[in-house]
Homo-oligomer: A and B are copies of this chain.
Amino acid sequence: MLTRQKINASVSPKGSLETLSQREVQQLRETGSGSVYALFRQCALAILNTGSHSDNAKTILEAYPDFEVKIHQQDRGIRLELINAPADAFVDGEMIASTREMLFSALRDIVYTQSELENKRVDVDSSSGLTDYVFHLLRNARTLRAGAEPKMVVCWGGHSISTEEYKYTKKVGHELGLRALDVCTGCGPGVMKGPMKGATISHAKQRIVGARYLGLTEPGIIAAEAPNPIVNELVILPDIEKRLEAFVRLGHGIIIFPGGAGTAEEFLYLLGILMHPDNAELPFPLVLTGPKSAEPYLQQLHDFIGATLGREAQNRYVLIPNDPAAVARHMAAGIKAVKQFRRERNDAFHFNWLLKIDESFQHPFEPTHEAMAGLNLTREQPTHELAANLRRAFSGIVAGNVKAHGIQLIEEHGPYELRGDKSIMQPLDRLLQAFVEQHRMKLPGGSAYVPCYRVVS
Contacts and interface: CB of A to CB of B under 8 A. Distances in A.
Query: Could you tell me the dominant secondary structure of chain A's interface residues?
Result: loop
B136 A77 contact: no
A142 B179 CA distance: 29
B178 A204 contact: no
Contacts of A346: 72-75
Interface stretch (A16-24, A28-36, A54-62, A155-163): A16-24
Contacts of A73: 346-348, 353
Contact of A204 (B139, B179, B230, B347): B230
Interface in A93-131: 96-98, 101, 119-121, 128
Contact of A229 (B205, B209, B342): B205
A430 interface: no
A92 interface: yes
A350 B230 CA distance: 30
Contact of A75 (B14, B139, B348): B348
A132 B23 CA distance: 8
Given A197-B201, A200-B201, A230-B205, A21 B77 contact: no
A332 B101 CA distance: 24
B91 A179 contact: yes
A153 B208 CA distance: 24
Contacts of A197: 201
A97 to B, nearest CB: 4
A100 B131 CA distance: 29
A74 B200 CA distance: 31
A248 B77 CA distance: 18
B200 A147 contact: no
Given A21-B132, A132-B23, A76 B207 contact: no
Contacts of A92: 179, 329, 332
A120 B325 CA distance: 50
A146 B104 CA distance: 12
A445 interface: no
A168 interface: no
Contacts of A101: 207
23 contacts: A13-B146, A17-B145, A17-B146, A19-B139, A19-B144, A19-B146, A21-B135, A22-B128, A23-B128, A73-B347, A73-B353, A74-B348, A75-B343, A76-B348, A92-B179, A92-B332, A96-B205, A98-B206, A119-B120, A200-B200, A201-B201, A204-B213, A205-B230
Given A97-B208, A119-B121, 8 more contacts: A18-B146, A19-B348, A22-B128, A23-B128, A74-B343, A75-B348, A97-B206, A200-B201
Q: Which 3 A-B pairs have the closest CB atoms?
A: A77-B146, A97-B207, A205-B229
